Structure 1
Amino acid sequence: MPQEDNLSAYNSTDSDPSVFFLSGIPGLEAMHLWISIPFCSVFTVALLGNCTLLYVIKTEPSLHKPMFYFLAMLAIVDLVISTTIMPKLLSIFWFNSREISFNACLVQMFFIHSFFNVESGVLVAMAFDRYVAICNPLRYATILTNSVIAKIGLAALIRPVFIRIPLFIFLRRLPFCRSHVIAHCYCEHIAVVKLACGNTTFNNVYGLFLTVFIVGQDLTFITVSYVQILRTVLRLASKEEQLKAFGTCISHLFTILIVYTPLVLSSVVHRFGQLVAPHIHVLMGSFYFVFPPMMNPIVYGVKTKEVRSRMHLLFRRKNL
């Protein structure tokens, strides 16, 4: 087949080192068009949901509060992650457009991994917001001022960007004299590192350290926040007050599950990689980055009363 000939050409050692090929989903190339349907649907829902959420928060003065500012940050991060991956992924499925320059591959990889860590930082900020709202409600407005929110958002952005820069500097300097076919739908870090013919110890060790350090640190902060929240809620006099207080955390808890559960499943699949088919690896890795951006606005639209009522009002106006 023509596409197999093209991939074989890029497997040779004398091919252009500045050009790479994304393999798509190994073994399921004939089904790419059908597979594109759910991916395209998820991407469309993610775009519409997050853009609608941002519009509602921006245009509704009653939502100009710390909780919704952090929610807007989450929506922006989800839009960046999904638009970084999906256009190229769909072009592979629809047009067999597999070629990608090495520099474009590095840029995609940087945005994917950095902004996942930004999302993790925003989830920590949202946990802190719920902690202050429940455990110290009288000082909520004085603690979470607009300047503090801006600094928290900036810290969530700067932290992963700067600590990941060395990873991509070292990757950029590695020689690639083997196959130039990346066994994935997007430029996944480990999949690219495996193609290098130099010493990749730094990238393997530092990449693992960053994942464990950032995710572990963030989950620790979130856990500590919710332990304090739970202790405060259990001290409330009535069951009604307890349910009302904890009800404000439900959306955030759902979001944590949506973001971190695919990460855990993906890690398990990688750990037992020899027992799992390659197409399962790729499908789970791709799904891992497109599912949360679709679900987060749905969760907050359904579970958060203020957002739900404003969205309902918005669609009512459009139908009139």
Structure 2
Amino acid sequence: MMEGNSSIVTEFFLTGFPGLHPEYYSLASAVLFSVYLLILIGNATVFLLFATNRCLHKPMYYIIINLCACDILFSTTTLPKIISKYWFQSGTISFTACFVQMYFVHYLGTVNSNVLFLMAFDRYLAICHPLRYPNFLTKSNVYILSVTVWIVGMAGALMLVIRAYPLPYCASNIINHCYCDHISITLLACTDRTPYGFPAFLVAMFALLGPLAFIIFSYCSIIMAVRKIANLQGRLKSLSTCSPQLIIILLYYLPRCFVYLASNVGITFSADMRIVIIMLYSLTPPMINPLIYCLRTRDIKQMLIKRLKKIKIGIEIKFSH
């Protein structure tokens, strides 16, 4: 905190789902823990397949690994604390820890958007400029793009924390959310939020809508390029290579755009419903993405089937002995 300010808050309290009755706390913690476990197992499985199969060391899969890492880190940043609230009735989080969590929530959200941008860029080059694809998206270039994605996301999140941390917090310390984010924290400041809220809104829109604009452009270009393919089978094959990325992108962006548009046309949600929607669109993609990779991506699907067959044969041999 900035020396000499009037903050008296030393810790915050996360309400989680405000309308949830205490008798359902155990169920809520069990559901959230199961979601966290599924996210870890699913994304760790993709990591393992990638690490043990050199045939997956292609640009598209390097980009997918970035998304897996982002999903694991985001869920690890947000879920353990809210699980402990319902499991151990421990909803408090220290002042500094709350801002650390806020930083990673916004940082990883930006990284996620930028990784989806890379996914769209990969498919755009592969279909619209196939001759340039192998020369441009080499392993070294993908490394550079991946590192850039993780570095670029730091600035905006850091700016949010630097501007919000010194504010005077002298009123309520109750955060109506499952984790600390910029809006939830700055609403508790004993000062006019406008000078801090508008720049934060611009950062959020740039991080979310900037990549989305290119994603829309790239898939419009892909559709136009596919329409020029005379062979129907060729069209379907080209589109099938885009389907996993497109599903992942829609899962990430559609709920966020819906909530944003709803708030601007006068549709309001209760506090419980708003938090449920936020948690659904924050945690559903990390949980479902590995399933999409394994079922919709041919190479990963084949590697997974081979691995499961080996395990099955090993079990049969063990029982035969």
Match in the other structure for 1:296: 289
2:204 is equivalent to residue 211 of structure 1: yes
Q: How does 1:272-287 map to 2 (within 5 A)?
A: 275-287=268-280
Q: Which amino acid aligns with 2:62?
A: Y
Match in the other structure for 1:17: 9
Q: How does 1:245-260 map to 2 (within 5 A)?
A: 245-260=238-253
Match in the other structure for 1:69: 62
| Contact 2:8–2:170 (Cα < 8 Å) also in 1 | no
Following TM superposition, the consecutive aligned residue runs of length 4 or more in structure 1 with deviations greater than 6 angstroms are none
**Residues 198 and 96 of structure 1: CA distance in aligned 2, closer, same or farther (over 3 Å):** same
Which moved further from structure 2: 196-205 or 30-39?
30-39
Q: Which amino acid aligns with 1:103?
A: T
Match in the other structure for 1:4: none
Q: Kindly, what percent of the aligned residue pairs are identical?
A: 35
Number of residue pairs the alignment of both structures matches: 307
2:187 is equivalent to residue 198 of structure 1: no
Match in the other structure for 1:10: none
What secondary structure sits across from 1:52 in the alignment? helix
Choose from 126, 129, 137 the match for 2:122: 129
| Contact 1:269–1:276 (Cα < 8 Å) also in 2 | no
Cα distance in 2 between the residues matched to 1:102 and 1:313: 49
What secondary structure sits across from 1:176 in the alignment? coil
2:76 is equivalent to residue 100 of structure 1: no
- Distance apart, 1:274 and its partner CA: 8.2
Q: How big is the alpha-carbon RMSD for the aligned residues of Structure 1 and Structure 2?
A: 1.8
What secondary structure sits across from 1:20 in the alignment? strand
Length-normalised TM-score, structure 1? 0.91
1:112-132: per-residue Cα shift (whole Å, max 9, x none)?
111111011011111111111
What secondary structure sits across from 2:132 in the alignment? helix
- Distance apart, 1:95 and its partner CA: 0.7
2:18 is equivalent to residue 26 of structure 1: yes
Gaps of 5+ in 1: 1-13
Cα distance in 1 between the residues matched to 2:207 and 2:175: 26
**Residues 247 and 117 of structure 1: CA distance in aligned 2, closer, same or farther (over 3 Å):** same
Q: Which amino acid aligns with 1:84?
A: T
**Residues 93 and 317 of structure 1: CA distance in aligned 2, closer, same or farther (over 3 Å):** same
Match in the other structure for 2:35: 42
Which moved further from structure 2: 247-256 or 283-292?
283-292
- Distance apart, 1:282 and its partner CA: 1.7
- Distance apart, 1:16 and its partner CA: 5.0
What secondary structure sits across from 2:16 in the alignment? coil
What secondary structure sits across from 2:165 in the alignment? helix
Q: Which amino acid aligns with 2:106?
A: H
